[in-house]
Structure 1
Amino acid sequence: MKIVISAAVLVMVGLTAVGREFWLEAASFQLQAGQTISIRPLIGDNFTGGPWTKKAEKVMRLVRYGPTPADSTNLTPVRGFAPADTFRTAFTFAYPGTHVVLLRSTNSFVELPATEFAAYLREAGLDYTLQLRQERDQQATPGRETYRRCAKALVQVGEAAATPAATDSACRKVYGLPLELVPEQNPYRLATDKALTVRVLRAGQPVRGAAVQIWQRQPGGLPTTHFTVRSNQNGRVLLRLSGPGPYLLATVSMTEAPAKLRDRADWQSTWASLTFAGPPSAAHRPAAKH
């Protein structure tokens, strides 16, 4: 029994270090023009989390893109000038339309014993990596991994129905992240129970068979819902927005580590997420400007 418990503890340590979800959270995803709010990077489970890090060195890219190409704010810490233990996350949303905030982290490293690494791969739905390790007779080899995070949040300023369709362009754009979830419709324009399609892109190319987890927070203290779907041959997943949310979509990809990192890692994982609110209801109109 002690051996079983110890193994379970090690699995949880590994999943805590790597496999917990990472996302960007706003106090409200629907605002009035001119509001300034903090977009917090969180890490946790079941769409419940705490602060990710205070280290500026962990942030490779932190940018807000507005509804027009000229409207953007770059809060990426400047190496050698930003305090090492803090970075800013407050953005001003000046103009009506759909804004995108994205964060890309630097790489971190972890090594897990073989059994725990296999359990982690199963938990994350990384079947292809499991298969490769079996084909290469690496089942008894520790898992040496470098991992990074890519998160996006969609923030709606003003009523979507009152803004021109051209202000949707930011939310459907591909931003060149190593792994990216890209909506093909603006969720703030969809009616309740209408379908939203989202593409899974790795280095700009569709990912077939990616496991995409979807969480939806329910109003009134009801339990958060969760389910997993696989992307089709074109890298697309489909979901129906059954309420105001907010929603969290998350996926992970693992490839062989690049040559420059092979002294520390055999595998490179990339974790991507997308957060947004669903169709607005009378109880979920944009917050009043303060």
Structure 2
Amino acid sequence: MIARLLTVAALCLPLAAGAHDFWVNPDRFVVSVGASTGLSMQVGHGDARRTSPIPSRRILRFAAWTPGGDVIDLRGDGKLAPTEAGLHLLVLETDANAQSHLPADRFNAYVKEEGLWPAAAAREQRGTTGRDAIERYRRVAKALVQAGAPGEGNQDLATKRVGLPLEIVLVAPLSDPDGGDTLAAQVVFEGRPLAGALVKLTDLDHDATPAAAQVTDRDGLVRLRRPPPGNWLLNVIWTTPLSGAEGIDFDTIFSSLSFGVPPAGLSSGHAPT
């Protein structure tokens, strides 16, 4: 009952800008083979959007999977220079050494907005709803970059799991002609589909508020209307209640997937410029 009520409440809230959102932001999501695109880490939306100040020591991995199966370490480089056509998958993972300390009212609002019903349930059961909360957190982010014209080359990495603790995976490549008007994605937590998690879709070119939001079903799936051409972000947050023995109440993961949607009709005969 708590999960259902909190999910409904989250979806009824105005879709406020996610100050917690974090993602890998390529300068271009479609790039010519042999060219390069700059990469940055972004956090927040609208007026609060900025380059993430996360220190390099907290980054456990920042790598790109190529269509041919190679893995390229991107730490310290700041750019991707594809040498083969096809979809490239960028993955960033931080450690869990960051902490957030929030007063009760702000933490409760954050829990409600993000649909974090495990936290709400734990605080209600423990009688701590009126107390401040401390969470430790990590961030994981994926980005899809196409080398060559949209749909050209191997597209399998769109649906690849890479073993992140909380991961968003597309059900089919965006270039799949059978996808129709639907954007389907699955949320995986510790290797298993996650039900009851709130997924938000944001237009990165007009990002003051999310464009859509949906709660994952029993199979961890969301099915959203396929967004129009542009640069887009899917994000989800999940938390696990802790005993508090170490002075920390929750273990939280922020996860995102950024990608580009090409204009309709743009095919392998039209390379990016």
Do both proteins adopt the same fold according to a TM-score greater than 0.5, normalized to the shorter chain? yes
Match of 1:84 in 2: none
Match of 1:3 in 2: none
Tell me, in whole angstroms, the C-alpha distance in 2 between the residues paired with 1:190 and 1:274. 21
Tell me, in whole angstroms, the C-alpha distance in 2 between the residues paired with 1:143 and 1:98. 41
Match of 1:178 in 2: 165
The residue identity in structure 2 corresponding to 1:274 is L
Match of 2:238 in 1: 253
Which of the numbers 182, 185, 192 marks the counterpart of 1:195?
Answer: 182
Match of 2:41 in 1: 41
Shift of 1:275: 0.7
Tell me, in whole angstroms, the C-alpha distance in 1 between the residues paired with 2:19 and 2:152. 40
The answer to whether the Cα contact below 8 Å between 1:98 and 1:171 also exists between their aligned partners in 2 is yes
Listed one character per residue, the Cα deviations across residues 111-142 of structure 1 (whole Å, up to 9, x for unaligned) are 22222211221122112311221011112332
The residue identity in structure 1 corresponding to 2:72 is T
Match of 2:77 in 1: 88
State TM-score, norm by structure 1.
0.79
Shift of 1:153: 0.4
Tell me, in whole angstroms, the C-alpha distance in 2 between the residues paired with 1:67 and 1:112. 43
State TM-score, norm by structure 2.
0.83
SS at match of 1:93: coil
Listed one character per residue, the Cα deviations across residues 229-283 of structure 1 (whole Å, up to 9, x for unaligned) are 01111000112324112111010000024x8x95241201101101111143478
The answer to whether the Cα contact below 8 Å between 1:19 and 1:120 also exists between their aligned partners in 2 is no
The answer to whether the Cα contact below 8 Å between 2:122 and 2:241 also exists between their aligned partners in 1 is no
The answer to whether the Cα contact below 8 Å between 2:184 and 2:223 also exists between their aligned partners in 1 is yes
Tell me, in whole angstroms, the C-alpha distance in 1 between the residues paired with 2:214 and 2:162. 23
Tell me, in whole angstroms, the C-alpha distance in 2 between the residues paired with 1:29 and 1:61. 20
The 3 A distance-change label for structure 1 pair 19 and 254 is: farther
Match of 1:211 in 2: 198
Match of 2:4 in 1: none
Q: Would you say 1:278 and 2:261 are equivalent positions?
A: yes
Q: Would you say 1:120 and 2:110 are equivalent positions?
A: yes
Gaps of 5+ in 1: 1-14, 77-86
The residue identity in structure 2 corresponding to 1:209 is G
Listed one character per residue, the Cα deviations across residues 161-217 of structure 1 (whole Å, up to 9, x for unaligned) are 443xxx122221111111000011111345895222111000111000110001125
The residue identity in structure 2 corresponding to 1:158 is G
The residue identity in structure 2 corresponding to 1:144 is I
The 3 A distance-change label for structure 1 pair 204 and 46 is: farther
Tell me, in whole angstroms, the C-alpha distance in 2 between the residues paired with 1:35 and 1:144. 44
Q: Would you say 1:143 and 2:130 are equivalent positions?
A: no
The structure with the larger Rg is: 1
The answer to whether the Cα contact below 8 Å between 1:64 and 1:101 also exists between their aligned partners in 2 is yes
Gaps of 5+ in 2: 1-15
The 3 A distance-change label for structure 1 pair 162 and 176 is: closer
Match of 1:233 in 2: 218
Tell me, in whole angstroms, the C-alpha distance in 2 between the residues paired with 1:275 and 1:286. 21
CA RMSD of aligned residues (A): 2.8
The 3 A distance-change label for structure 1 pair 278 and 192 is: farther
The residue identity in structure 1 corresponding to 2:222 is V
Number of residue pairs aligned between Structure 1 and Structure 2: 255
Tell me, in whole angstroms, the C-alpha distance in 1 between the residues paired with 2:114 and 2:227. 26
- Percent sequence identity over matched residues? 25
